[in-house]
Chain A
Amino acid sequence: MAQSLSFVFNVLDTPEDQGQEPSPYDESEMHDSFHQLIQEQSQWAAEEGLELQQMGSGTSGSDHQALLGPEGALAHSTATLRILASMPSRTIGRSRGAIISQYYSRTVELRRRASRPQLGDLGRLARPSLRLYDLELDSTALEEEEKRLLLVKELQGLTVAQRDHMLRAMPLSLAEKRCLREETRIARGRQGHRGLPSCCSRLRYACVLALHDLGLGLLSALHVLTPWRYALKRIGGQFGSSVLSYFLFLKTLLAFNVVLLLPLLAFTVGVQAAFPPEPLGSVPAFTGLELLTGGGRFTDTVMYYGYYSNATLNQLCAAPPDGGPCIPEAGGLPYNMPLAYLFTMGAAFFITCITLVYSMSHSFGESYRVGSTSGAHAITIFCSWDHKVTQKWASCLQHDNIRTRLKELLAEWRLRRGPRSVCGRLKQVAVLGLVWLLCLGITLGCTVAVYTFSEFMIESPVPAEPEGALLALPLVVCLLNLVAPYLYRCLAALERHDSPELEVYVAICRNLILKTVILGILCYHWLGRRVGALKDQCWENFVGQELYRLMMMDFIFTLLDTVFGELVWRLVSEKRRRGRPEFDIARNVLELIYGQTLTWPSSPPLPRLGVLFSPLLPAMQIIKLVLLFYVKKMSLMANCQAPRRPWLASRMSTVFISLLCFPSFLGAAVFLCYAIWQVKPSSLCGPFRTLGTMYEAGKVWVRRLEKGGPGVSWLPWIHQYLVEKTFPIYLVSALLLAVIYLNIQVVKGQRKVICLLKEQISNEGEDKIFLINKLHSVYERKEKSRAGRMQEAAPPPALLTEDQDT
């Protein structure tokens, strides 16, 4: 492994050097003396011939021991130390001049990014390169003040937003940043007054400023609207980043639901509420049970699909002859409800999809980096202290965690845990296999239970009342969803994983399998069996009501579980003196995702199940999430403690969002496509009453457009050639695959480059050591020869004293 040399630089200990202590601001002087020294040395090398080569072979990379002095530490001459004190690498951290140079070059690169550098500007240099802009390598060594002026000049060339971005990212003190900003504004202002600003540019400038202010105003407003800032701070302070990630995920889901709800409200719910259809029958009275079952009074309202008319609203028709199409009279804006329904779903779908994919890729980019180091010790020391933690006992816990982790790492390294005994490994594999078998068995059991129960519900005649009986299936499903994860948790205590991350992933896997399978059975039950069973009635309404019931039951059970379950667990744990239970992040996150899967209709990539059948479900989901936040927070504060083993919270949020995207996406996509393309809508209710499938609404409209005239002929053309045929789909898939392949190759290339650069750094380090030692030997020789000459010149002191004595 690497041999570490410790250099002891006693710069401050040499008294004669105190006055000449080189400050980082004297860079240019020092560089010159360095050049001079090299020249001297090469002169001597030329005189002494082969000595350099001998030295070079002696100081090969692995032979560092030969360079150590007798005391075990290198003692350098003061001249060498002065030079070393002024090396550029020593001064980068502190020197303002170096920072300014660095940011000057960055600013120039930013400014020139849009346009290529003018050839005329390249003046003296023979070959244009990016180094043109690096002041440090420029042969004319500039004073700090000049560098600053150059920086100010470059900053003026940027737009306001870019300048602010640059200023904020500079590691200078706030006072200096304000000075820079002032200078930039003054200079810009002066230029403005000198020239004759045309009306256009002044107007443009005013617009830019206004937009900037508007942007800032919106940002402030957004911060005001950001809910729960203080609550999140308390949670992060007491429990750390990992538990906080759950609550941040909850907040993200809330945002998604709000984004989902707005277009729905605007285009479907609002419009239909403004033009209510005639009531079909008598309206039943409101009983409290509707809140749970979603039926009764709520059946014939905007909540469900069945309420929406299939005609064009607000269109005053003349009496159509022979039942042909309506001829619109003057006045009124026709609003085609089926089309609006379909398109709103699709648009909300795409918005959610894009938002979700963007947030997932952003989160992924933050947490996974090419060439990630696996330095466990370094990361534990530098990255594991969570500065958000503010409570005394929580920070004590962090101290304990870090100490335990370091001890574990050291123990691992000490024991050099090689291959475990065959017996031990077999045992571990057997335990793992057994636990997985048991878990899969439990899943299978739950699936079979749900299936038989649903079949039983279909077989037995479904009475209109009592409505309470309809709650049976959701009750069974929620019970199973509640009990099974606890069983998984108990079984997981048997197996012992190395990292807490792996434990969480395995738990997530198991819970995910359970929920996916149960949801799959339910979908089959609704779309396959119920549609058949309810041939004459409005099956979409029924499915919407089922979803509503499921969501309500899920919410009630979550509340009960949180309030009582965690309380009971805490009492049991405290009795056994094991301390409070930890907050089970995996299970809670999966519950959130499950709830969202039931509701999310317009999320990006695909509207989830519910929206299609019950457009107001996102509103209910929003209410549910808000309540859930407060309940979970209360229970967390009262019952739980921070996780014992620290784990990577940032990767967790990426995993959560990916889970939200992928299983939900695929599942909901399949469900939705099947519902739109294959299933016949019921003939009694809803906006797609008279059509064969929901998709036909689009087809009908396209056909109407074709007759419309040449102005809109491109839309039917698109429909005919891009949507109906399968070739474009293949083309798009091929393109996607190509893009993915290219990205993989780029990442591979980056990894290779990182390896090469690391080697280069290591080589440069060895070069530096070699040069330092060479310098040292040169100076030593110089001083020896000087001392020798002085000794020859001066009389020996012993003779002098003898003369004096006598």
Chain B
Amino acid sequence: MGNKQTVFTHEQLEAYQDCTFFTRKEIMRLFYRYQDLAPQLVPLDYTNCPDVKVPYELIGSMPELKDNPFRQRIAQVFSDDGDGHMTLDNFLDMFSVMSEMAPRDLKAYYAFKIYDFNNDDYICMWDLEQTVTKLTRGELSAEEVTLVCEKVLDEADGDHDGRLSLEDFQNMILRAPDFLSTFHIRI
């Protein structure tokens, strides 16, 4: 079945297979999901690598993402320019990292980038407040949010500089047994 498809060349499919955690069949299935998002925009022939980006609004309306409070950050982290518009490569990358076969280190790295709202390579107080607000849909008072963020920094900040670096985050996350099962999108 995989040999008869005309979307990718054999080499392209092999490359995708080697660089993601998906098999041929899954890559084709993901391609058709991507294509369904914007049928007029996405061509059915990728052999000459067309430069096509699906806008963020369509990505964010996917059933797997539409109720996720972090969908915008996820799309921004995996897109080329940080604006949420994704090429097919970005799309495959996103679901590959969020699949269950991705190792912890990789997931922790991308989780850090997702929670780093201002892209300054640290999760600072402001980032934490944004995260808490998104998680609780703004139903906690400002004072409670600040309190929670301070406690998080207390628990996770190893070098006491008032924000979480990638190492702090990894130290904390990699030891949480639940991280692998929750940071996972099934598609």
Contact = CB atoms under 8 A, between A and B. Distances in A.
A761 B90 CA distance: 35
A452 interface: no
Contacts of A758: 158
Interface size class of A (residues with CB under 8 A): 35 or more
B35 interface: no
B178 A369 contact: no
Given A164-B18, A403-B140, A377 B109 contact: no
A651 B148 CA distance: 26
B23 to A, nearest CB: 5
Given A6-B125, A403-B139, A173 B90 contact: yes
Contact of A94 (B121, B171, B184, B185): B121
Interface stretch (A405-413, A555-563, A727-735): A405-413
Contact of A390 (B15, B16, B64): B64
Nearest to A170: B106
Chain A at the B interface: SS class = helix
Given A385-B70, A761-B159, A368 B186 contact: no
Given A220-B23, A387-B185, A378 B135 contact: no
Interface string B128-172: 100110011101100010011011111111111111011101011
B105 interface: yes
Given A216-B23, A241-B182, A2 B135 contact: no
B159 A764 contact: yes
Contacts of A181: 15, 18-19
A732 B181 CA distance: 38
A369 B156 contact: no
A93 B165 CA distance: 9
A58 interface: no
A744 B63 CA distance: 47
B72 interface: no
Given A399-B136, A649-B178, A373 B19 contact: no
Given A649-B181, A758-B158, A406 B64 contact: no
B86 to A, nearest CB: 11
B180 to A, nearest CB: 7
A769 B161 contact: yes
A103 to B, nearest CB: 11
A5 interface: yes
Contact of B173 (A366, A382, A769): A382
B32 interface: no
B57 interface: no
Interface stretch (A84-92, A257-265, A321-329, A774-782): A84-92
A219 B23 contact: yes
A371 B171 CA distance: 10
Interface of B: 2, 15-21, 23-26, 63-64, 67-70, 78, 80, 89-90, 92-93, 96, 98, 102-103, 105-106, 109-113, 115-116, 119-122, 124-125, 128, 131-132, 135-137, 139-140, 144, 147-148, 150-163, 165-167, 169, 171-186
Task: Please give me the 3 A-B residue pairs with the lowest Cβ-Cβ distance, nearest first.
Answer: A765-B159, A375-B155, A93-B121
Interface of A: 1-7, 9, 89-94, 164, 167-171, 173-175, 177-178, 181-182, 216, 219-220, 223-224, 232-233, 236-237, 241, 366-369, 371-373, 375-379, 381-392, 394-395, 399, 402-403, 406-407, 409-410, 413, 648-651, 758, 761-762, 764-766, 768-769
